[in-house]
Amino acid sequence: MHRLAAEFLGTALLLAIVIGSGVMGERLAGGNTAIALLGNTISTGAGLVVLITIFGPLSGAHFNPAVTLVFAARRELSWALAAAYVAVQMLGAIAGVWAAHLMFEEPVLQVSSRLRDGPAQTFSEGVATFGLIATILGSIRFRPEGTPMMVGLYIASAYWFTASTSFANPAVTVARSLSDTFAGIAPASAPAFIAAQLVGAALAAFVFGWLLKQKAQA
pLDDT per residue as tens digits for the range 184-206:
999 999 999 999 999 999 999 99
Q: Determine the pLDDT at residue 212.
A: 87
Measured CA to CA, the distance from residue 209 to residue 4 in angstroms comes to: 26
DSSP-derived secondary structure letter, 105: T
Q: Quick: pLDDT tens for 4-59.
A: 999 999 999 999 999 999 999 999 999 999 999 999 999 999 999 999 999 999 99
Please write down the long-range contacts of 39-44, taking CB distance under 8 Å and 24 or more positions apart.
Answer: 40/159, 40/182, 40/183, 41/156, 41/159, 41/160, 42/156, 43/17, 44/14, 44/17, 44/18, 44/155, 44/156, 44/159
pLDDT tier for residue 216 given thresholds of 50, 70 and 90: low
Residue range 154-175: mean pLDDT, rounded = 98
Q: Which of 34, 10, 198 is CA-nearest to residue 190?
A: 198
State the Cα–Cα distance between residues 207 and 211, nearest whole angstrom.
6
Query: What pLDDT score was predicted for residue 213?
Result: 82
Question: What share of the chain has pLDDT > 70, as a percent?
Answer: 98
* Mean pLDDT estimate for the chain: 96
**CA–CA separation, 50 and 215 (whole Å):** 30
Q: Residue 215: what pLDDT?
A: 56
CB of 22 closer than 8 Å to CB of 104: no
Amino acid at 57: P
Question: Going by C-beta distance under 8 Å and a sequence separation of 6 or more, which residues neighbour residue 141?
Answer: 212, 215
The answer on pLDDT for 218 being more than 70 is no
Cβ count near 180 (within 10 Å): 15
Length, in residues, of the chain: 218
Under DSSP, the state recorded for 163 is T
pLDDT the model gives residue 6: 98
